[in-house]
Chains A and B, each alone.
Chain A
Amino acid sequence: MTARLPLRGLFLPVLLIALWQVWGFGLPEKSRAPLPLEVVEAAARLIGSGDLPNAVLMSLGRVATGFLLAGSLALVLGLLMGYIRTVERNLDPIIESFRPVAPIALLPLAILWFGTGTPAAVFVVAYAAFFPMIINTIHGVKTAERRLVQAAQTLGLSRWRILQAVILPAALPAIFVGARLSMGSAWMSIVAAELAVGSKGGGGGTGGIGEMMFVFYAYYIELNSIVVCMITVGLVALAIDHGLRRLQRWMLPWA
């Protein structure tokens, strides 16, 4: 029964796509509606030429850079904020006043400072990745079991050793939640940032997936290719989250 469920779940989507295609046969030539078969064709073309894989790799590289920069800063600050009251008292107001500012709202600033290339995109991604990571790290530190800290204290560990050997591993499950949310938010904002930056270079070899979408939308008005990009964005997000979950299961076998 559980094995049949996913197949049954596919029934309605497949039916809708088929209906959509049938409806499409009745449309005049040059209509702006993307059609399933043409989307598949566009996908084959974009993958075959290497344009789509290259664009995805470009965007992933930017996301990884921004995520690693922001993630490691957020991890260190989050550990200290959760552990030391004075640090939290001083940093919390600053962080909370930046948090409601949407990453994409920083784009004008990023473009003025860094231009329209990779550094601006990385800046926006890093900003987006920072908050989920730091908030979950603080939460993880604060909810670390007091008993475990006491056990370590009575074994004679110093305050800093306890942070390293007890608080950090106890907070890891929460830190992983932070990393997954952070990656999700980084990937969403890279697409938005690249879309907004547009492409001077014309997509292709140097741009990311968002820039590629911009080119299809602004220069070619190629809806089928835009849909291919949309689907790709979703699939990549799924793959990232799946990968992080597997990494978590592998790294935290006890949790």
Chain B
Amino acid sequence: MGMNGAAKLALANVRKEFVVPRTNEQVVAVEDVSLAVEAGEFLVIVGPSGCGKSTILNLLAGLEMPSGGRVEMDGRAIEGPAAERGMVFQDYALFPWKTVFENVEFGLRYGPRRSTVGAGERRERVRQYIELVNLQGSAQKYPHELSGGMRQRCAIARLLANEPEVLLMDEPFAALDAQTRIILQEELLRIWGEVRPQSKRKTVVFITHSIDEAVFLADRVVVMSSHPGRFIRTFEVDLARPRNETVRSDARFSALSQEIWSLIRDEVYRAAMTGDGGQG
């Protein structure tokens, strides 16, 4: 799929099974999934809840190991979590005993670069990223003193300050109200560096169940179905960048959204009526 051969991230015929602890039942979360993510690409995986999209992200992060197939970065197998693949979680996962400043500083202070980045440079970089996400007034606050949107900004700054090559985002805006969500989507594109050429951008894999969000953010949308989780179709999003609010009223935007919705509608209905699904 990659235009210039080598993919940044690759999944090849990946399968992931779980054993349900209480019943010892085998569940296939993801079956025969293949995907190549280009360097600098913003890829969004969208699907109904319970389709295994979070599993894909955990595999890419190295938090889980595949039961079959290969998961690679730059052509090398991913064998565990590493600083080069940073992650943002739906529930923020900020360290509650650390202030905003200390949270953003966390990776540089305790991670693999702690000996190469000096204290002065570290503070400067942290200040820079706090400004980038507009939290400069709250640097000394604790996470519990922040709104949900501010917490997620803080988590994004923590991720970026660690300067990973790949950003993995697991439904980062799902817990936020609709207005905050829209604002943070635009913010994310700005922070990601929409105006820069693709070679200067970070590679992003973003998970969501919101089709609007997927189309607004993505270069490419991959649609998943559940039981077991599979990729059913890929859409190139040929909307011009930088994108802003007006894109949402673009005819191409609604056409794409409609098309994706018609693909997953049946499954979403089934899940909603039977209470099926659950884990993201």
Contact = CB atoms under 8 A, between A and B. Distances in A.
A86 interface: no
Nearest to A253: B142
A170 B143 CA distance: 14
Contact of A153 (B81, B94, B158): B81
A165 interface: yes
A12 interface: no
A64 interface: no
Interface residues of A, dominant DSSP: helix
B87 A151 contact: yes
Interface residues of A, number: 23
Interface in B62-118: 62-63, 80-87, 89, 91, 93-97, 106-107, 110-113
Contacts of A177: none
B86 A150 contact: no
Contacts of B81: 150, 153-154, 156
Given A147-B91, A150-B89, A254-B142, A156 B97 contact: no
B101 to A, nearest CB: 14
Contacts of B168: 154
A148 interface: yes
A200 B81 CA distance: 64
Contacts of A237: none
B144 interface: yes
B162 A155 contact: yes
A156 B142 contact: no
Interface size on B, as a range, is 20 to 34
B37 interface: no
B121 to A, nearest CB: 17
Contacts of A165: 106, 110
Contacts of B95: 148, 151, 166, 169
A169 B103 CA distance: 13
Contacts of A252: 97
B50 to A, nearest CB: 19
Specify which of A154, A158, A164, A254 lies most central, judged by the most chain B CB atoms within 10 Å of its CB.
A154
Nearest to B99: A254
Contacts of A151: 87, 89, 93-95
Contacts of A153: 61-63, 80-81
A157 interface: yes
Nearest to B108: A155
A155 B63 CA distance: 12
A152 interface: yes
B87 A254 contact: no
Interface of B: 61-63, 80-87, 89, 91, 93-97, 106-107, 110-113, 142-144, 158, 162, 168
Interface of A: 145, 147-148, 150-158, 161, 164-166, 169-170, 172, 252-255
6 contacts: A153-B80, A153-B81, A155-B162, A156-B82, A253-B142, A254-B144
Given A150-B81, A155-B83, A165-B110, 8 more contacts: A147-B91, A150-B89, A151-B89, A154-B87, A155-B111, A156-B113, A157-B111, A164-B110
